[in-house]
Amino acid sequence: MSPLDLRKQPPRGPRETLLGVYLLPRTIDKLRAELPGGNLGRYLNHDTGFSAYVVRRLGLDMNEFREAVAGAADESAVVEWLAARVDAASAPALNAKLETFVVERMSPDDQALVRERHPVMQARPDLTKILDILEADDKDAFP
């Protein structure tokens, strides 16, 4: 796959789906930005992030997923790799859980981490749902 420069464009939105699962297209974009010639820009790919959470919930190892993206000729090869490993029937329950992720129910340490990683929350205290925060971050970065 070709690398992405996330200084020029945001990754795909958090509610975009692949195999019915939120965040998978976004995660692929962020992994492509890690490739030589790519750039994550202001985006992160931490073990404690939401992409990592989704990957773990799907029963995948992030490093194996990273290698699959790096070695794939194109996105259809990544979809094929995922389809062989992911139960797409789990997507609605996982997406529903992601829709209910709110900052207030996180531990104080996790709340601080989210506020640090997503400065848009300072200007938008009305944002509480994680998916909404990610969307607002993208709009803030690329008005």
pTM of the full structure: 0.94
Q: For 65-85, write each residue's pLDDT tens digit.
A: 999 999 999 999 999 999 999
Residue 45 — very low, low, confident or very high, per pLDDT cuts 50/70/90? confident
Q: Decide if pLDDT at 127 tops 90.
A: yes
Predicted pLDDT at 47: 85
Q: How many domains is the chain partitioned into structurally?
A: 1
* pLDDT band, very low/low/confident/very high, at 49 (cuts 50, 70, 90): confident
Res 58: pLDDT: 95
How far is C-alpha 133 from the geometric centre of its chain's CA atoms? 12
Residue span of the structural domain in which 133 resides: 17-141
Token couple for 48? 């404690």
Is there a domain that residue 10 lies in? no
Assigned domain for 25 exists:
yes
Cα→Cα distances 97→17, 37, 44, 75, Å: 15, 35, 21, 26
Within a domain: 123: yes
Would you say residue 27 lies in a domain?
A: yes
Q: What is the DSSP letter of 32?
A: H
- Closest by Cα among 64, 53, 46 to 24: 53
Domain membership flag for residue 83: yes
| Burial (CB count within 10 angstroms: exposed 0-12, middle 13-18, buried 19+), residue 37 | exposed
CA distances from 11 to 24, 55, 66, 89 (A): 11, 16, 16, 25
Is residue 121 included in any domain, yes or no?
Answer: yes
The string of pLDDT tens digits covering residues 84-123 is 999 999 999 999 999 999 999 999 998 998 988 888 999 9
8 assigned to some structural domain: no
User: Residue 3: inside a domain, yes or no?
Assistant: no
